[in-house]
Structures are given as structure tokens and as C-alpha cells.
Chain A
Amino acid sequence: MVVPGYQTLVVERRGPVGWLIFDRPDQGNAMNAQMLSELEVAWNELNEDPTVRAIVNTGNGRVFQTGDLDAMREHSRRTKRAELRFTAWHNHVWKPVIAAVNGVCAGGGLHFVADADVAIASSDATFVDPHVSLGQVTAYEAIGLLRKMPAETVMRMALVGRHERIATDRAYQLGMISQIVHPPDQLQDGALEVGLTDACRAGAQELVSMWGHPDQEEGPRAFAEKREPVWVVDQGVRSRA
């Protein structure tokens, strides 16, 4: 598989876990047009790689992700048509995706929390949505969050803008995240552990929905024979369920 040279991301494998890491730490990992394009490539690369069973999305530096002030306008046609391609959900990634929020998650950074399957955060992470403080509208990311956690908090974040932040304790209480990692520098270890467990669970869900798939025979057989199963791994299957 040809691995393109990413300029704004680090994409790597650690065992069965694919890592997609924002890598513009000096710009708060903000998305520019280059990053938007690279994200589409990276999600698809990891989704199609049969050795990757789960994907962890995090950021380098002190910040997770701070959005897309100008980038979305450069991709204006896609924004207007709701044809965005920078999150796992946009790219129809059906492998488990874990957002590991390593610091400030601001504005468009919330896309990656809303569109992940599992979200965890380092204890020093904070969440803030400054769109309306900059004359911008909040839409997709807050709409996604509304489905997944109590709506009042999402609306408060959207309307208070940059004048308030949510800390991890409150995010955990509301079910916006499911784990707080402390001390913060252990986040990547925590993400790995959740990744493996979640990969097993989600794999099981997929199997249930795929009666007749060879893995359904192989699983019980391997269990009975006390050996690791050998799965059939579908390459490049990205059709919407």
C-alpha cells in the first residue's frame, strides 16, 4: 500500500490499532485546506488496511484540534452540500473510532468528538465552541452532539461561545466522554486499551449482523480448538450499511 507523505497528520500503526494524529501543534492543530484533504486520504487508508482493527484519533502537542476558520470556506461547495470528508463518519469508516482528546478541543474540533464511536480525554482537556464569538454558525458538530448527549449543554456551548469551557469532569458526567485519563500524558496508553476492548465488542456486533459470513464458523471453531481465530478480513469494503 502506498503511504502518501502527510504534511499535517501522522498516520501510523501500533499493533492492530491505526493512529490518526493531528500534527500542526504550532497552529493548535487547526485544519487548513491541506489537512482537510489529508484527513480524507488518511481515514480511507486506515479503513482499508486489513491490519487495522480500530482507529485512534488524537493530536500532537497541548491541543487536540481547534477547528477550521478558513478551511471550510475553501471547501465551500462541500460545506454547502453537506459533503464533508474529514471525519470518520463523513468517510463511512465502519471500524471502531476512538477520539482521544489530548487538550483543548475547540469549535470544529468537536466534529471529531461528535463523529467518533468512543471519546476519551486527558484530565486537562477542555471543550469550547467559539463559533458565534467569531461571527460563525455552529452546525454539524453540535447537531451530531445533540443526538448523543443532553442537548441543553450543547446549546449552551453553542450560544455562550468562547466565554465558557467545559472540563472533563462535566463532559464525563454528561456522557460526552466515557473515560478521563490521569495523568494526561498516559492518554495514548489509555486509548490503546479502550481500542482493543472496543474492537472486540464492535467486531462481535458486526458478526451478528452478518449471518453466513465465514467468520461465524471460524470463531466458535477456534474457541473450541483453543486457538486464535483466523478472520476473513474484507479489504476496501466501505459500503454504507
Chain B
Amino acid sequence: MEYSPFECLKVERHGPVGWLINNRPDKLNAMSALMRDEFAQAWIELDRDPAVRVIVHTGEGRAFQTGVDVTEIATDGIGMERYREQTEKFDLHFTSWHQGVWKPVITAVNGLCAGAGFHWVADADIVIAASDAQFFDPHVSVGQVVAMEAIGLIRKMPVEAVMRMALVGRYERIGVDRAYELGMISQIVDPPERLREEAQMLAEKIAKNSPAAMAATKRALWGALEMGLTDACRAGAQELVSMWGHPDQEEGPRAFTEKRLPVWKELDSTRG
């Protein structure tokens, strides 16, 4: 599948793995208005490409992502007002969660992750980081409020650490060791140069699993973050049962007993 030409992103496929790479390294991958629009498009293209089973998101240069492009905000005469309506309505489109991507998404943090960069940590299924990555949230140090990205993280890791980052702002950073201890990330890649290689290997392992079963599992688990425990189990039961009768349910155990790789049914590329 041909991807659209992007100015602020690189979108590639390596085997079954789709790559979305932040590509404004001289701006520490800060998000301009154009980049924001390109994210919306890139996630949809990767989600629709039937050859892509798993998506890895990382950045070029020494930063993963450092939030909104403050220079653009300060100089374009419009500033944050450009985003007022969509923000007030929580009508955002720049992460995989915003875009309803049900393929597994790995965020591979390649360096600095600051402020709004946490959106892609909070909204990914799996997060790994290079050993020199650092995390901090400077919003309140520049008179901004932190909301969505920290709210997402609060559901997924110990809350105190998120609150501390949100309130200490730019005066402290979290290193990968602490991020790993807290379960914010599940893997530290050392040396850092091996990050993409490790991410590709992890993604290829995941690509061996049933695409349909993974999509239903994602819906069950992300849905559970919205609900009480019993309601989440009831809704999860519907996702679980939805696979009964699906060919992958026969193929999985059969391949296992025949000691071969399973041949899964392609995920329906009409997104649901």
C-alpha cells in the first residue's frame, strides 16, 4: 500500500510492522498544526493497510516528542486558540486511541518525552524506551494545564508519580529505571541505538498472534479503563464470545498441536 507523502512524519512498513516516525528532529519533534493533521491521517492509513499487523511509533533525533510547537503558537498570531473548539469537545485525532486503531501499538521512546509527548505513552498498548530516554511534564511551568495525557496515565500506573510530574513541571525528570519500576514502560533498550531493532523484534512476535483476537482483546481492555469492574467484565464477555466461530479459534489450537505457525484470517480492513 502506498502511503500519503508526509512532511512531519515518516510512515513506513517493514514486514508486518508499520512504523510511524516523528520527523521534525530540529524542533525536537514538537507538534505543529501540520504535524497534528498528519498524525490523524497516518494512523488511519496504517490501520487500514492489511499488510500491517502491528504499529511502532518513535521519533527521529534526540527527542521522541516534546509537545506542541511553542514557537508556532507564539508567532502565528492564532496560538492555542486554533485548537480551542476541538479541545473543548475533546475531539482530538493525533493518537492511536483517538483514531480507534485496534491493531497493537508500541510506543518506542527514543529520547526526551516531554509534556504532550505523554499522549503517546498514555495511549499506546505497549511502551518501551531507550536507556537514555527521560520523561517530564513542563505544562505548569509555562502556565499550561496538563489534562488528557496525565488522566490516561493515571489509569495505567501509580498515580502519585503522575501527579508529581504534573505539578513539579520542568524542574524534575524521570529516568527509564524509575519508569520501568513503576510499570510506565516494560522494557529498557541498552544501548539506545538498538531501540528500533528491539521494537521491530517485539512487534514481529506480536504479529504472530491472531489479528482478530488482538483487536477484540484491545477493545475489552481499553473499554475496561472506562468502566467499573463488573460492567467491564460483562462488556469484555461480549468481546470474548465474539471470536467464537471465527476461523482463528480453530486454527490456533490446530497449529499448536501440529507445531507450526498459525495462518490467521486477515483483519477486516473496514475499520470498526
Q: Do A and B come from one complex?
A: yes
A-to-B contact residues, CB < 8 Å: 69, 73, 76, 79-82, 131-140, 142-144, 146-147, 149-156, 158-161, 163-164, 173-174
Across the interface, do B241 and A79 meet the contact criterion of CB distance under 8 Å?
yes
Residues of B within 8 A of A134 (CB): 210, 213, 249, 252-253, 256
Could you show 10 A-B contacts with beta carbons less than 8 Å apart? A69-B253, A82-B237, A139-B239, A146-B225, A150-B158, A151-B157, A158-B217, A159-B209, A163-B205, A164-B205
Partner of A80, one of B155, B212, B237: B237
Contact status of A140 and B237, CB under 8 A, knowing A135-B210, A159-B218, A163-B205? yes
Q: Given A133-B208, A151-B155, A152-B186, do A143 and B232 touch, yes or no (CB 8 Å)?
A: yes
The answer on a CB contact under 8 Å between B244 and A73 is yes
From DSSP, what is the main secondary structure of chain A's interface residues? helix
Contact B217 A132 (CB under 8 A): yes
Q: Is there contact, CB below 8 Å, between B217 and A76? A: no
Q: Are A132 and B183 in contact (CB under 8 A)?
A: no
**A152 in contact with B156 (CB, 8 Å):** yes
Q: Across the two chains, which residue of chain B brings its CB closest to A129?
A: B217
Are B241 and A173 closer than 8 Å at their CB atoms? Answer: no
Name which residue of chain B comes closest to A166, CB basis: B186
We find that the number of chain B residues with CB closer than 8 angstroms to chain A is: 54
Neighbour of A143 across the interface among B182, B233, B253, CB < 8 A: B233
Are the CB atoms of A132 and B234 closer together than 8 Å? no
How far in angstroms is the closest Cβ of chain B from A115? Answer: 10
* Inter-chain contacts of A138 with B (CB < 8 A): 217, 220-221, 240
Enumerate B196-214 residues with CB–CB distance to A below 8 Å. Answer: 202, 205-206, 208-210, 212-214
Report yes or no: B208 in contact with A150, Cβ–Cβ below 8 A.
no
Of A73, A139, A140, the most chain B CB neighbours within 10 A belong to: A139
Q: Within the assembled complex, what's the spacing in Å between the Cα atoms of A7 and B244? A: 29
7 interchain residue pairs of minimum CB distance: A150-B183, A135-B252, A139-B236, A135-B248, A134-B252, A151-B156, A163-B205
User: Does B34 reach chain A (CB closer than 8 Å)?
Assistant: no
Residue of A nearest to B230 (CB): A82
For A136, list chain B residues within 8 Å (CB): 210, 213, 240, 243, 249, 252
Query: With A134-B256, A150-B182 known to touch, is A160 a contact of B241 (CB < 8 Å)?
Result: no
Q: A80-B241, A147-B229, A152-B183 are in contact. Are A131 and B213 (CB under 8 A)?
A: yes
The answer, among B157, B183, B212, B233, for a CB contact under 8 Å with A82, is B233
User: Roughly how many angstroms separate A80 CA and B242 CA in the complex, as a whole number?
Assistant: 9
Known: A133-B252, A135-B249, A164-B205. Is A152-B225 also a contact (CB below 8 A)?
no
In the complex, what's the smallest C-beta–C-beta distance from B125 to chain A, in angstroms?
5
Is B85 on the interface with A (CB-CB < 8 A)? no
Residues of B within 8 A of A173 (CB): 181
Distance of A159 Cα from B186 Cα, bound (Å): 13
Chain A residues in 8 Å Cβ range of B183: 149-153, 174
Contact call A135/B225, Cβ cutoff below 8 A: no
Min Cβ gap B265→A in Å is: 9
The interface residues of chain B lying within 8 Å CB-to-CB of A146 are 221, 224-225
